[in-house]
Structure 1
Amino acid sequence: MDLAIILAAGEGTRMRSAQSKVLHEIAGRSLIGHVLAALDHLSPKHRAVVVGAKREAVESHLNEIAPDALLVHQEVRNGTGAAARLALEAFVAKHGSTASTVIIMAGDTPLLTGASLRSLHSRHLEMKAKATVLTAEVFDPTGYGRIIRDDQGRISRIVEEKDCKEFEKEIDEINSGVYLFDFAALRGALAELSSDNAQGEEYLTDVISILQRKGEVVAAELIQDETEIIGVNDRRQLAIATSVMRERINDALMLSGVTITDPLTTWIDVTVEIAPDVTLLPGTQLLGKTIVETGATIGPRSTLVDSSVGQDARVIESYVRGAAIGYQVQVGPFSFLREGTELAT
C-alpha cells in the first residue's frame, strides 16, 4: 500500500463538544487513533491526514501518535472530494507521482478492523480495479450513501442520501466511506468533480460514477460485520461504538483464557495487557497501560489505571492509579492507591 489518506477535517457539530470529534476516545484510544491502528495492517508507505476544524489540537495529537503523517489543512470544507484532492496535491508536491494504490477513509470510524481492510485490498488486486468500495448491508440505511448497481450487479454509482430519489432510499447496501483507488485514475477523476448537488460540495463518491462512465473496473467488497462501519457523529453513536468495542475486547480476552464474570460491566482499554487465568469480577475497569499477571483477581467494583498487578494478587473494591501491586498481595476492600505506590509480599 503506497498511500493512506484519512479525512478528518469535519466540524463535528453534532457532537456538541469543544473537542474535535476525532479526538474523542473509545477504550483508551482516540477515534482517529483506532483508524490509524487498523491501517497499520496494510503497512502504508505514506500517510496523509486532512485536518480542518480544531486543527491545532488534532495536529498536536497526530504529532504524538503518527509523527510521520503528512498533515494537510482544508481551510474551506467544501467536500470529501476536495479534501482528497488537497491530500493528493500535497503528497505529489512532497513525494512526486510515485504512488500506485491509495486508500481513503474517514477519521471517525473506530471499529474498522485490519482484517476487513486486508480483504478490501485483496478484492481490489483480484479485480484489477481502478476503484474498490467497502460496502455493507444494513437494516436501517438512514444517513448513508446508497450503492447503486446496474442490471448485471456491478456498482455504477454512489448516491448520498440528500440526493437520493425515494426508491433509492429503500436500498439497504450502503457506502462505508472506505475506498481503494489507482492513484492516476483517482487524480484524473478528482479533476472532473462538480459541486452540482444538494449540499453544494464536491463528493468523493462521484469518482465512482466518473470511472464507471470511462469504462474502468469498479469493484465492491461487502463487509461481513456491518458494525465495523459505524461512524461517530454524535454522543449516541459514540456510546454505541464504545459498547461494540467493549464486547470485542472482552470476547478476545475470554477466548485467550481470561475469566470475565460480567462482560456488560467490565471495561478494558485496548492498551491493557492481561495474562491467561486472570479473573475479572463485575464492575471492573482496567485503563491505560495496566498490566495484570496470571492468577490475579480484580473486582468487584474496582478501577485500575496505569498500574501493574502481580501473579495471584487480589484487588477488591478499590481504586488504583499508577501503583505496583506485587505477587499475592491483597488490596482492599475500599482502598485508594495513589501514583507511585508499591506493595510487595
Structure 2
Amino acid sequence: MSNLHYPDLQVCVLAAGKGKRMRSNLPKVLHKVLGRAMIDHVLHTVEALRPKAIAMVTGHASEMVRAHVGQPVNLDWVIQDKQLGTGHAVKQCEKVIRDVRDVLIVCGDTPLLSVETLARLVDEHRAANTDVTVLTAKPENPFGYGRIVRDGNGNVTSIVEQKDATDEQRLIGEVSSGIYCVRHEVLFDLLHAIGNSNAQEEYYLPDIVPLALHAGQSVAAIAMNDSDEMVGVNDRVDLAHVEGLMQKRIIEEWQRRGVTIEKPDTVRIEAGVKIGIDTVIQAGCYLIGTTHVGDECRVGPNAVLVNAWLDDRVNVFAFSHIHGASVGSDAIIGPYARLRPEAQLDEEVHIGNFVEIKKSVIGRGSKVNHLSYIGDTVMGSACNVGAGTITCNYDGANKFVTEIGNNVFIGSDTQLVAPVKVADDATIGAGSTITRNVAAGGLTLSERNAQKYAAGWKRPQKDRN
C-alpha cells in the first residue's frame, strides 16, 4: 500500500506509560520485538499512512523515548506529566493537533498493527461520515480488554474496561483495540467532558463513545480481520508472545518471497533483515539486526549473522558467526568460522573451520582454511594462508597493520608480527616468525630467531597433467 497518503489526518501515538509489569528501568515502548523497539514498529506503520503529522505522547522516562526516536520532521512531542488515563493523554495533544479532518489514535505497545488495517479504519470511517469509529476484534481470550457493549439493534452504546465490567459484560467477546479514528472537530469537546468516576479514577478514552451518542453524534465499530494485530504488551510474557506472532509472520512472508526456511520454528529472523530469492536458511539460524543475505545463499545450520552483509551465492557452513562483516559473492565460510566487525571479504574467498577474521580485508580468491587468526590485515587476491597462522597485531598498547600482497603463500604455524609487509608472490615457510618485511617472490623462513631470504627460489607447481 505504498500509494497511501492522508494529508488531512493526524496520528496520536500513546507512549506515556511506565509499564510497571515489565519490571524494568526501560520504558515499556523501548523494549524490543525482533530487534526493534515496540515504538519503532508502531511509528514505521503509521508513517506509511503519510499523515500530516504525528503527535507522540510520552510521560515516564520521556527523555529516553525522545532520545531513541530522534526528531522526525513531522513529529510533535507531547508530555503527559501525570499518567491519568488514555483520555487524559490524548487531551494533552490539543495544542499540536490542528487543521486536519480526523485524528487517528493508536497505542505505542501494539507492534503487530498493520498499515492495511489502519488505512481500512480511516477509509471506512470517512466513507460512513462517522464522528467516532473504534477498531474492534474478537480474540479467543478477551480478558483484559474493554468490552464493546451494543444495544438490541447492534449499535455501539459503550466500551467498558475489564476492571469496571459486570460479570455479564465480561462474557462479551468483542473488544476494543484501543485504536480510534475521530473527527477532529468533536474530539476535544468529548475529551473535556470525560469524567474519572471509575475504579482507577482515570480519564478513559473509551468514555468518548457514550458521550458522543448522548450528544447525537455517530459512532461506529469496525472489526479487524486479524485479532493478533491488537495484542498489546504489558509484561515480558506478553513480549515473548508478541515476538512469536511477529516471527511467524516474518518467516511466512520470506517464504512467500522465495526463501527456503528449514524448521522455521527453530529460526530467528529479525524485522530489519533482508533475504534474496532461492536462499536456504537452515535449522537453528539467527539472522539479527540489519543483516542482508543475497540471492542463492545457504546459511546454517546454527549459524549466527548479526548486522552482516552477504552477497549472492555465499555458503555459510554450520555454527559460523558473522558479526558486522561483509562477504563477497561465491565465498565459503566455515564451519565454525568467526568474522568480526569490519572484516571485508571479496569474491570467492574461503574461510574455514576455527578461523577468526577481524578488521581485515581479504582479497578475491584468497583462502584461510584452518585454525588461524587474521586481524588488522590487508590481504591481496589469490593468497593461501596455512593452518595455525596468526597476525600478531597488538603489543599490549597499540594495534598495527599487516599488509599481504597478491598470490602470497604462508606456511602453517606462521606468526606475522605487525607492522610488517609481505610483497606479491612471496612464500613463507611453515613455522616462521616474521618480524621484518618480506620481499617479493622467493622463499622466506625463520630458524629460531634468524630470518632468511632465498633469492630466486621457485614455488613448487601443481602437476596439471
**TM-score (norm: length of structure 2):** 0.72
Q: Distance in 1 between matches of 2:188 and 2:288?
A: 43
Q: CA deviation at 1:68?
A: 3.5
Number of residue pairs the alignment of both structures matches: 339
Q: Which residue of 1 aligns with 2:14?
A: 7
Where is the helix percentage greater, Structure 1 or Structure 2? 1
Q: Which residue of 2 aligns with 1:232?
A: 233
Q: CA deviation at 1:214?
A: 1.5
Q: Which residue of 1 aligns with 2:52?
A: 45
Does 2:151 match 1:150?
Answer: yes
Q: Which residue of 2 aligns with 1:307?
A: 308
Letter of the structure 2 residue corresponding to residue 324 of structure 1:
S
Does 2:280 match 1:273?
Answer: no
**Equivalent runs, 1:100-111 vs 2, <5 Å:** 100-111=101-112
Does 2:61 match 1:54?
Answer: yes
Letter of the structure 2 residue corresponding to residue 337 of structure 1:
L
2:82 pairs, out of 76, 81, 95, with 76
Which stretches of structure 1, 4 residues or more, deviate above 3 A after TM superposition? none
Q: Which residue of 2 aligns with 1:180?
A: 181
Does 2:342 match 1:340?
Answer: yes
Q: Which residue of 1 aligns with 2:167?
A: 166
1:63 pairs, out of 57, 62, 70, with 70
Q: Distance in 2 between matches of 1:271 and 1:88?
A: 34
Alpha-carbon contact 1:129-1:219 (below 8 Å) kept = yes
CA deviation vs aligned residue, 1:7-43 (integer Å, no higher than 9, x gap): 1111100001111110011122110111111112321
Does 2:137 match 1:130?
Answer: no
Letter of the structure 1 residue corresponding to residue 127 of structure 2:
E
CA deviation vs aligned residue, 1:134-166 (integer Å, no higher than 9, x gap): 100122111110000111101111001111011
SS of equivalent residue, structure 2 residue 51: coil
Q: CA deviation at 1:258?
A: 0.3
Q: Distance in 1 between matches of 2:341 and 2:193?
A: 58
**Structure 1: 5+ residue stretches without partners:** none
Q: CA deviation at 1:133?
A: 0.5
Q: Distance in 1 between matches of 2:53 and 2:94?
A: 11
Q: Distance in 2 between matches of 1:121 and 1:4?
A: 11
Letter of the structure 1 residue corresponding to residue 88 of structure 2:
A
SS of equivalent residue, structure 1 residue 186: helix
1:87 pairs, out of 84, 90, 93, with 93
Q: Distance in 2 between matches of 1:262 and 1:121?
A: 39
SS of equivalent residue, structure 1 residue 219: strand
Q: Distance in 2 between matches of 1:325 and 1:290?
A: 11
Q: Distance in 2 between matches of 1:289 and 1:38?
A: 18
Letter of the structure 2 residue corresponding to residue 30 of structure 1:
A
Q: Which residue of 2 aligns with 1:98?
A: 99
Distance 1:67 1:306, change over 3 A: farther
Alpha-carbon contact 1:41-1:114 (below 8 Å) kept = yes
CA deviation vs aligned residue, 1:238-260 (integer Å, no higher than 9, x gap): 00000111111100000010000
Q: CA deviation at 1:67?
A: 5.1
**Structure possessing the higher relative contact order (Cα contacts under 8 Å, 6 or more residues apart):** 1
Q: Which residue of 2 aligns with 1:258?
A: 259
CA deviation vs aligned residue, 1:221-273 (integer Å, no higher than 9, x gap): 10111111000010000000001111111000000100001111111122111
**Structure 2: 5+ residue stretches without partners:** 1-5, 349-465
Alpha-carbon contact 2:147-2:162 (below 8 Å) kept = yes
Alpha-carbon contact 1:62-1:69 (below 8 Å) kept = no
RMSD over aligned CA atoms reads: 1.1
Q: How many percent of aligned residue pairs carry the same amino acid? A: 36
Alpha-carbon contact 2:42-2:113 (below 8 Å) kept = yes
Letter of the structure 1 residue corresponding to residue 180 of structure 2:
Y
Q: Distance in 1 between matches of 2:299 and 2:228?
A: 30
Alpha-carbon contact 1:127-1:217 (below 8 Å) kept = no
